[in-house]
Amino acid sequence: MTLPMARAIDAYRRAATAVPPAHAVVLLYDEVVNALTHAEQHARLGRYDVAFERGQRAVTILRGLRGTLDMDRGGTLAQQLCDTYTRNIFAINAAIGKADAAERLRALVLGLVALRDAFAALAAMEPRGTPRRLEEIGAPPWQGPDAA
């Protein structure tokens, strides 16, 4: 296990003791979305070094989440989450440095916001997928999934 992954797992465990587990997961999804939104913005500006750093922050958190899954007790849901985290990790790493990196990262953000909001509903927390929420972290104004 790498040091960043160990830190991500440790951060999850600390958060899990301070708030209910579902809240901790939602907060970690928020940080993943924030990091990817910033990576997207930096990619649009051609600052791929910073986009890479922000993307790796998201990857580290997703690895930490994946590492905390209880595959024995979680059954099919745990396997689906593991697959989701793994695919997002690969997609983030594949996006950075590409000509269409910003668009790829935006698509990942939208998918992760949907996942985050599903967990938020279970935890009785406010959904994030609104223009106001995305603008709070400096994201471009929400145009919807079909906007050019």
What is the pLDDT, as a whole number, of residue 9?
67
What is the pLDDT, as a whole number, of residue 137?
53
* Contact between residue 114 and residue 33 where contact means Cβ atoms under 8 Å apart: no
The domains of the chain, with CATH numbers, are 3-127 (1.20.120.340)
- Taking the CA atoms of residue 30, residue 22, residue 115 and residue 93 in that order, the dihedral angle to the nearest 10 degrees is 60
Per-residue pLDDT of the chain (148 residues; tens, 9 = 90+): 667 667 766 776 676 567 888 898 999 999 999 999 999 999 999 999 999 999 999 999 999 999 999 999 999 999 999 999 999 999 999 999 899 999 999 999 999 999 999 999 998 888 886 444 445 555 554 444 444 4
What is the pLDDT, as a whole number, of residue 28?
94
What is the pLDDT, as a whole number, of residue 144?
43
